[in-house]
A and B are shown apart, each in its own frame.
Chain A
Amino acid sequence: DQQVKQNSPSLSVQEGRISILNCDYTNSMFDYFLWYKKYPAEGPTFLISISSIKDKNEDGRFTVFLNKSAKHLSLHIVPSQPGDSAVYFCAAGSYGTASKLTFGTGTRLQVTL
């Protein structure tokens, strides 16, 4: 049972445009959400997070939006750059408890020139 779903395995966006990566979750106990970025042959690196008390969190070119009623979050990258080409994982968990993060299957973003 996939509790965190990334339904788009891949996405191609032109440089300078907006990239929107989507993630859905089913467990209503999740209240802490993160996005990780992964380059080939490297480990995932933390990008941005959001807790359920917010519906938006921004960090430079990266913004995460959370829609709790729809159990949906999205990552917006504006403007997209070639260096953003990577696999993006969303993850969810319960903030501050002894539970563990559940990861989605990832979306491969390619930013073209």
Chain B
Amino acid sequence: KNEVEQSPQNLTAQEGEFITINCSYSVGISALHWLQQHPGGGIVSLFMLSSGKKKHGRLIATINIQEKHSSLHITASHPRDSAVYICAVGAIKAAGNKLTFGGGTRVLVKP
């Protein structure tokens, strides 16, 4: 079993729909990261969180430390949100903050 599991693997939505991506992890963490990667492109850090909830524009990230679960929500989705969204955790026992990654969720938003 992977330390970080994401669901779904693929998601197709119509423009304007509300999107939720889930991430579960099995280790004690110092922080959880949500990243965005466009096809053939670089990686952008969206959120780093260790408790509660963060919001940036149409993106909302939540984390439940007790349940070892996080969600990334995209409100009023737009075709430019089409990308791979990656959940990553920094384990408490790790030196520094080396990240362990989920497999990613490929999101396609159709106009």
Partners in one complex: no
Spell out A's residues near B (CB within 8 Å): none
Spell out B's residues near A (CB within 8 Å): none
